[in-house]
Chains A and B, each alone.
Chain A
Amino acid sequence: DGGITQSPKYLFRKEGQNVTLSCEQNLNHDAMYWYRQDPGQGLRLIYYSQIVNDFQKGDIAEGYSVSREKKESFPLTVTSAQKNPTAFYLCASSIDLSTGELFFGEGSRLTVL
């Protein structure tokens, strides 16, 4: 089935460790996105990419890094510089950046101990 796969679903890490969250899509979409969600809040945009080897910072990019070496993959690294990394992370994709119809993965819940 076509869709977006995020892994892992749950992740626990010690403070100060870098963490990489995986996001893979087989929808042949050009655009991919990472959002962060805190309890009771809306989604905040971390990074987005409209094409391979290109990505742009969103509203809260500090402490995060991404890469887009393949069309299907858009991994997010939560670095030790991110002061409050415990959150629910959502990856999405769309045909391109112009459409408002995004397809989301199931999310990755990161807890930093």
Chain B
Amino acid sequence: DAKTTQPTSMDCAEGRAANLPCNHSTISGNEYVYWYRQIHSQGPQYIIHGLKNNETNEMASLIITEDRKSSTLILPHATLRDTAVYYCIVRLWNSGNTPLVFGKGTRLSVIA
């Protein structure tokens, strides 16, 4: 699976959009981008995933660049409860015996 690069930490004002970037320049054509978040001392929570089209659900939007070398997770109106570590993971769909690999992620602090 391709490697991802994320900033170590970011701040966002409450009520504003939080835009979390992820670089995955070695991504291959059949690798998906997954996003998870982990609130302090809890288990990670799946947020969203995509291949090449932009995706949106009740939690967030995922914007993937046309060349697929980077993506951005958008939390449209960040709240204090969105303070967490956000993980960007690239993985082959139906990759058989390869469970998800979590890096260190981006620590997002939402500030009142």
Q: Do A and B come from one complex?
A: yes
Q: Identify 18 residue pairs between A and B in the complex whose beta-carbon atoms are under 8 Å apart, listed by A's number.
A: A4-B43, A41-B104, A42-B105, A43-B44, A45-B101, A58-B99, A90-B43, A97-B96, A97-B97, A97-B99, A98-B95, A100-B49, A100-B89, A101-B34, A103-B46, A105-B43, A106-B42, A109-B41
Does any Cβ of B come within 8 Å of A110's Cβ? no
What is the total of A-B residue contacts with beta carbons within 8 Å? 56
Interface SS, B side: loop
Contacts of A41 in B (CB 8 A): 104
Chain A residues with CB under 8 Å of chain B are: 4, 33, 35, 40-43, 45, 48, 50, 56, 58, 88, 90-92, 97-98, 100-107, 109
CB distance from B26 to the nearest CB of A (A): 18
User: Are B102 and A42 in touch, CB under 8 angstroms?
Assistant: yes
Contact residues of B between 24 and 56, Cβ < 8 Å to A = 32, 34, 36, 41-46, 49
Task: Tell me, yes or no, whether B100 is within 8 Å of chain A by CB.
Answer: yes
Residue of A nearest to B98 (CB): A97
Q: How far is the CB of B11 from chain A (nearest CB, A)?
A: 18
Chain A to chain B: the 3 pairs with minimum beta-carbon distance, closest first: A104-B43, A43-B102, A98-B94
- CB of A48 within 8 A of CB of B99, answer yes
Q: Does B102 lie within 8 Å of A35, measured CB to CB?
A: yes
CB distance from B91 to the nearest CB of A (A): 5
Q: Which residues of A contact B49 (CB under 8 A)?
A: 100-101
Assembled-state Cα–Cα distance A97/B92 (Å) = 12
Contact B44 A90 (CB under 8 A): yes
Q: Which residue of A is nearest B33, CB measured?
A: A100
Q: Are B93 and A98 in contact (CB under 8 A)?
A: yes
C-alpha spacing A88/B42, complex, angstroms: 10
CB neighbours (8 Å) of B97 from chain A are: 50, 56, 97
Check if B7 is an interface residue, CB within 8 A of chain A: no
Q: Does B103 contact A (CB under 8 A)?
A: yes
Residues of A near B87 (CB, < 8 A) are 42
